[in-house]
């Protein structure tokens, strides 16, 4: 056994370095083509989201006849892992490996989880629906297997996205970050739209065999795309592997992360804005159909309008941020656009004007695009280089949790109003207007929160400007980044690299 | 790094590093095996083979 192991090790050690997935030494500028390749991991994330929330949602209810409440529960399961994103990001920050990698091992593990979940998912769903002789099996087998499959995929998605974004942030300079954020959002959106179309087209004629092919095909595509995305991306830092330093516990790292900065305020803004923009995502189509009497084909195009608005928002945000705008100002304008957008959507129902509704939807997409881009860029900029994983984990945890809660809450509010006594006599828009109004209120609160954060930022900038030159250079930064500290743009908040070592 | 006696050419990996690459391979195989086993059990539940 051990001789076999030795032989394998020797074999691996003699493979040419050209065929190993290591990047060259940290290069000065990462070309766009390489960033584009890295952003492929967002395509797999988008594919997984569409498959879980869209395609399988429908297949389980319509074709497999699984009770809608059980389907809702299964789809909500991955949300359980969302708060752990902060912890995953922190773990990747302090990860030690002989190869000098921090991000690649986690993205790889996340990919394996996603793959494993998709590999067993179709069979789990077939057993869950009592296909063929599974009807005689104990119900816990199907339920347990389906829950496990959804949990695996969810955990994998959270892991891949968190650490993938951290790797992207590692690779580029601060002034280049808006480009990366735009790229990541666009690829996520393209992945979602593309896979929704492809899955819809392949599953036109549903058969159990087709379901297995589609879901397991998604598993293979996930591994393939993530391998391509990861190849030769992360520079190795062998010095890190041999350096002996005590790493802070998660609690200490977190305290360091929020202390004396606007990190918590920013997370608050993200939570409010994400809920404000996200609550209507699943309600826009039924609203258009039931209140404005749009046809199914037209309501499906609403999603396209929303996505187009988002794409325009990302493009504008990338442009102005690369020109040096403050990311929080971009988020502020996005939220500001969201307020009249939902005003138009609310007004369109009683007025019966479909064009007003479409314009409102497009504006909501535009506002959400600006807001998402602005807040993610702000997160990247405010993170000290040694805590990038933790910062993006916290962003992802808040963003995913808020989005999940918002969608669930929107549905629950509508259903509760529909169940009120005398609901039959209500106007058609009655179940929807309160949800849209709540979104308006959340967006106004987000505007207020952004204003508070901006004020605090200005104050912090005032007080730290004079103390910064005294900070000693951080050895960690030197290995990452050959440019001298003084030449690196500091963003709105001081990049206090010395923080971790000062602990 | 060049004075590391463990270093094996032509990859420039040390034995420790090669061992880490190896551990990814082993872990991957284990996960693969477990997933395949579970998938087979689930298929056997719905459409049993071997009578």
Q: Do A212 and A315 sit in the same domain of this protein?
A: no
- C-beta of residue A85 within 8 angstroms of C-beta of residue A231: no
Tell me if A20 is assigned to some domain. no
User: CA of B45, closest CA in chain A: separation in Å?
Assistant: 5
Average model confidence (pLDDT) across chain A: 83
Domain for residue A356, yes or no? yes
Contact indicator for A450, A331 with CB cutoff of 8 Å: yes
For residue A10, list chain B residues with Cβ-Cβ distance below 8 A.
8, 18
Domain membership flag for residue B51 = no
pLDDT one-digit tens code per residue, A307-356: 899 999 999 999 899 888 899 999 999 999 999 999 999 999 888 888 89
Residues A288 and A394 in one domain: yes
Is residue B50 one of the residues assigned to a domain?
no
Instruction: Enumerate the residues of chain B whose CB falls inside 8 A of the CB of residue A133.
Output: 45-48
Among A236, A263, A289, where does a domain finish? A236
- Tell me how many domains chain A contains: 2
Count of A–B CB contacts within 8 Å? 81
Q: In terms of domains, do A294 and A203 share one?
A: no
Assigned domain for B17 exists: yes
- For A4-14, the pLDDT digits (tens) are 888 877 776 66
Instruction: Using CA coordinates, name the residue in chain B closest to A238.
Output: B1
Q: Answer yes or no: do A376 and A277 share one domain.
A: yes
Interchain CB contact of B6 with A (< 8 Å):
no
The whole-number pLDDT of residue A151 equals 94
Q: How far is A483 from chain B (nearest CA, A)?
A: 23
Q: Which of A342, A321, A341 is nearest to A331 (CA)?
A: A321
Asked if residue A478 is part of any domain, the answer here is: no
| A27 burial type by CB count under 10 A (0-12 exposed, 13-18 middle, 19+ buried) | exposed
Assess A264–B contact: CB distance below 8 Å, yes or no. Answer: no
Rounded percentage of chain A residues whose pLDDT exceeds 90: 38
* Residue B14 at interface with chain A, using a CB cutoff of 8 Å: yes
pLDDT band at A116 (very low <50, low <70, confident <90, very high): very high
**pLDDT at residue A193 is higher than 50:** yes
Q: Check residue B21 and give left, alpha or beta (phi > 0: left; psi -120 to 50: alpha).
A: alpha
Alpha-carbon span A373 to A183, nearest angstrom:
10
- pLDDT for position A287: 87
Interchain CB contact of B8 with A (< 8 Å)? yes
Q: Helix, strand, coil: what percent of chain A each, to 5? A: 80, 0, 20
The nearest CA of chain A is from the CA of B16 a distance in Å of: 6
- Amino acid A25: pLDDT: 45
Cβ separation B35–A119 shorter than 8 A: yes
Query: Does A347 map to a domain?
Result: yes
The answer as to whether B31 is a domain residue is yes
Structure tokens at A301: 């195009």
Residues of chain A in contact with residue B16, where contact means CB-CB under 8 angstroms, are 98
For the segment A252-302, what is each residue's pLDDT rounded down to a tens digit? 888 888 886 788 999 999 999 999 998 888 788 888 888 888 887 777 788
Q: A173 and A58 in one domain?
A: yes
- Asked if residue B1 is part of any domain, the answer here is no
Q: What is the pLDDT of residue A431?
A: 85
Was B10 annotated as part of a binding site?
no
Q: pLDDT band at A489, cuts 50/70/90?
A: very low
Tokens of A290: 């039931």
* A147 plus A231 within the same structural domain: yes
Are A227 and A321 found together in one domain?
no
Residue A190 lies in a domain: yes
CB contact under 8 A, A105 and B24: yes
The confidence score (pLDDT) of residue A1 equals: 56
Q: Average pLDDT, stretch B32-41?
A: 93
Domain of B22 in residue numbering reads as: 7-45
User: Could you say which of A187, A209, A236 is where a domain stops?
Assistant: A236
B38 has pLDDT over 80? yes
> For residue B4, what pLDDT is reported?
62
| Closest residue to B39, CB basis, from A12, A14, A120 | A120
**Is A202 within a domain?**
yes
Whether residue B9 is predicted with pLDDT greater than 70 in this model: the reply is no
Complex confidence, ipTM: 0.85
Q: According to the model, what pLDDT value does residue A13 have?
A: 67
Searching chain B, which residue's CA lies closest to the CA of residue A4? B22
Q: How many domains does one find in chain B?
A: 1
Q: Please give the sequence-ordered ranges of beta strands (E in DSSP) within B1-51, or none if there are none.
A: 7-8, 13-14
Is the CB of residue A123 less than 8 Å from the CB of residue A212?
yes
Q: Residue B7 in 3-state DSSP?
A: strand
**A203-208: Cβ within 8 A, 24+ apart:** A203/A55, A203/A59, A206/A59, A206/A63, A208/A122, A208/A126, A208/A131
Interface of A with B in 98-137 (CB under 8 A): 98-99, 105, 108, 112, 115-116, 119-120, 123-124, 126-127, 131-134, 137
| Structure-model confidence comparison of residues A466 and A25, the more confident one | A466
Least confident of A244-253, A302-311, A334-343, B30-39: A244-253
A350 and A294 belong to one structural domain: yes
Domain containing A229: what range?
31-236
> A374-418 pLDDT, tens per residue?
999 999 888 888 888 999 999 999 999 999 899 888 888 888 888
pLDDT for residue B3 is more than 80: no
Q: Does one domain contain both A222 and A259? A: no
pLDDT score for A386: 84
How would DSSP label each residue in A113-160?
HHHHHHHHHHHHHHHHTT-GGGGGS-HHHHHHHHHHHHHHHHHHHHHH
Backbone angles phi, psi at A360, to 5 degrees: -60, -45
Whether residue A446 is contained in a domain is answered as yes
Same domain, A86 and A57: yes
Asked whether residue A230 falls in the same domain as residue A113, the answer is yes
The predicted-structure confidence for A11-50, as pLDDT tens digits, reads as follows: 766 665 556 565 544 456 778 888 889 999 999 999 999 8
How many Å lie between the alpha carbon of A68 and the closest alpha carbon of chain B? 22
Q: Average pLDDT for residues A207-215, to the nearest whole number?
A: 91
Which position has the higher pLDDT, A247 or A469? A247
Residue that finishes a domain, picked among A174, A203, A236: A236
Question: Looking at the structure, do residues A111 and A225 belong to the same domain, yes or no?
Answer: yes
- CATH number for the domain harbouring residue A294: 1.20.1250.20
Tally the residues of chain A: 503
Q: Is A241 within a domain?
A: no
Q: How confident is the model at residue B33 (pLDDT cuts 50, 70, 90)?
A: very high
Q: Which of A15, A99, A118 to mutate to test the interface with B (most CBs of B within 10 A)?
A: A99
């Amino acid at each position: 056994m051990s001789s076999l192991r030795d032989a394998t090790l020797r074999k691996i050690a003699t493979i040419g370095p050209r065929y190993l997935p290591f990047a060259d030494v940290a290069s000065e500028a990462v070309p766009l083509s390489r960033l584009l390749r890295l952003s492929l991991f967002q395509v797999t994330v988008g594919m997984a989201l569409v498959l879980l929330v869209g395609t399988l949602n429908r297949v389980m209810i319509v074709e497999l006849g699984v009770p809608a409440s059980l389907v809702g529960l299964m789809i909500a399961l991955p949300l359980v892992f969302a708060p752990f994103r902060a912890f995953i990001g922190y773990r990747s920050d302090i990860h030690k490996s002989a190869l000098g990698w921090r991000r690649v091992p986690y993205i790889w593990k996340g990919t394996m989880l996603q793959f494993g979940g998709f590999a067993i998912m179709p069979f789990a769903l077939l057993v869950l629906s009592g296909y063929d002789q599974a009807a005689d099996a104990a119900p816990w087998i199907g339920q347990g297997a389906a829950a496990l499959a959804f949990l695996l995929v969810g955990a994998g998605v959270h892991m891949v996205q968190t650490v993938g974004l951290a790797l992207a942030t590692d690779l580029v300079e601060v002034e280049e970050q808006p480009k990366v954020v735009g790229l990541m959002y666009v690829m996520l959106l393209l992945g979602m739209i593309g896979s929704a179309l492809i899955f819809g087209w392949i599953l036109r004629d549903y058969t159990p065999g087709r379901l297995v092919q589609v879901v397991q095909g998604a598993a293979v595509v996930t591994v393939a795309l993530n391998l391509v995305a990861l190849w030769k991306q992360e520079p190795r830092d062998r010095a890190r592997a041999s350096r002996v330093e005590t790493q802070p516990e998660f609690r200490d790292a977190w305290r360091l992360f929020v202390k004396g900065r606007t990190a918590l305020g920013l997370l608050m803004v993200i939570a409010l804005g994400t809920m404000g923009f996200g609550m209507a995502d699943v309600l826009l189509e039924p609203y258009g159909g039931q209140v404005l009497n749009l046809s199914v084909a037209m309501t499906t195009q609403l999603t396209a309008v929303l996505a187009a608005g988002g794409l325009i928002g990302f493009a504008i945000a990338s442009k102005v941020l690369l020109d040096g705008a403050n990311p929080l100002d971009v988020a502020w304008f996005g939220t500001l656009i969201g307020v009249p957008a939902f005003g138009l959507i609310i007004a369109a129902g009683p007025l019966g004007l479909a064009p007003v509704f479409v314009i409102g939807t497009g504006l909501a997409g535009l506002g959400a695009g600006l807001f998402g881009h602005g807040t993610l860029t702000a997160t990247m900029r405010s993170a000290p280089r040694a805590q990038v994983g933790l910062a993006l984990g916290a962003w992802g945890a808040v963003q995913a949790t808020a989005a999940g809660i918002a969608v669930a809450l929107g549905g629950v509010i509508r259903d509760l109003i529909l169940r009120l006594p005398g609901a039959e006599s209500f106007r058609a828009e009655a179940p929807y207007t309160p949800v849209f109004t709540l979104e308006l209120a959340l967006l106004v609160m987000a505007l207020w929160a952004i204003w508070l954060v901006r004020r605090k930022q200005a104050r912090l900038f005032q007080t730290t400007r004079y103390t910064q030159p005294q900070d000693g250079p951080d050895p960690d930064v030197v290995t990452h980044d050959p440019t001298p500290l003084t030449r690196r743009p500091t963003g709105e908040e001081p990049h206090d690299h010395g923080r971790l070592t000062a602990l | 790094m060049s004075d590391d006696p463990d270093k094996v050419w032509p990859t420039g990996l040390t034995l420790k590093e090669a061992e880490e690459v190896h551990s990814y391979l082993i872990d991957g195989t284990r996960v693969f095996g477990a997933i395949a086993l579970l998938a087979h059990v689930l298929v056997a539940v719905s459409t049993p083979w071997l009578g």
